[in-house]
Amino acid sequence: MMKFEIFDIRDFTEKEYIFTCESMSESRKNRLERYKNSDDKLRMASAESRLKKLIAELSGEKTENVKVDNLPSGKPFAKVFGKKLNVSISHSGNFVAVAVADSDIGIDIETRESISKALIDRALCDDEKAYVGEFSHKRGKEQRTKFLRVWTAKEAYLKLTGEGLSMLHKVNTMPFIENSAHGYEIFCEVTDDYVCTVIGKK
């Protein structure tokens, strides 16, 4: 079982924001308060709200019975009456993405921003560079889409494993993108606004 949802934070009401902040665990509240930017706080709160609602729908429980917290590593998890659930959270620009599964799961969403040759060289392995192609401003949207498919797959996989972003350049995502990674399932959604990838264990 793997479920995920993408949500536009512009649809998140002030009432929902206040309620979500009040119902957060102490460690999540502390994490929220460390954000200086109000938009970052909004993204975190809306992600938690959507995650709780998604889990409530799947479990048949009320949202107030769903608890979200973080491991010491920073990786989020959820509980419903003591039962631990595998979850993943991501946000970028006006969008948040949340996922829940009965095995390890990772999700990443990125808005369509410009890329550079330096970023491609720093973050991608040789196989991925061949897929994305030689950097060119003329290729624009096509190359940005390919790069973001790779980038979001990398982050989603590293969230699944719990490894840090320092491992970005060591992960080859082509088996995921080509659907040849045995033992995993992948879903990628591409729109004019964002690219989102979810990776889960079968």
User: Would you state the structure tokens that stand for residue 192, as one six-digit string?
Assistant: 């004019």
pLDDT of residue 138: 67
**Which is nearest to 150 in space by CA: 135, 130, 180?**
130
SS3 track for the chain: CEEEEEEEHHHCCHHHHHHHHHHCCHHHHHHHHHCCCHHHHHHHHHHHHHHHHHHHHHHCCCHHHEEEEECCCCCEEEEECCEEEEEEEEEECCEEEEEEECCCEEEEEEECCCCCHHHHHHHCCHHHHHHHCCCCCCCHHHHHHHHHHHHHHHHHHHHHHCCCHHHHHHCCCHHHHCCCCCCEEEEEEECCCEEEEEEEEC
With contact defined as beta carbons under 8 Å apart, do 173 and 128 qualify? yes
The reported pLDDT for the residue numbered 137 is: 66
Q: From first to last of its 202 residues, what are the pLDDT tens digits of the chain?
A: 789 999 999 999 999 999 999 999 999 999 999 999 999 999 999 999 999 999 999 888 899 999 999 888 888 999 998 888 999 999 999 999 999 998 999 999 999 887 788 888 888 999 999 999 887 766 678 888 999 999 999 999 999 988 776 677 788 999 999 988 999 999 999 999 999 999 999 8
What are the C-alpha distances in Å from 108 to residues 12, 36, 99, 135, 198? 20, 22, 10, 23, 7
pTM of the model: 0.92
Q: Which pLDDT score is estimated for 87? A: 96
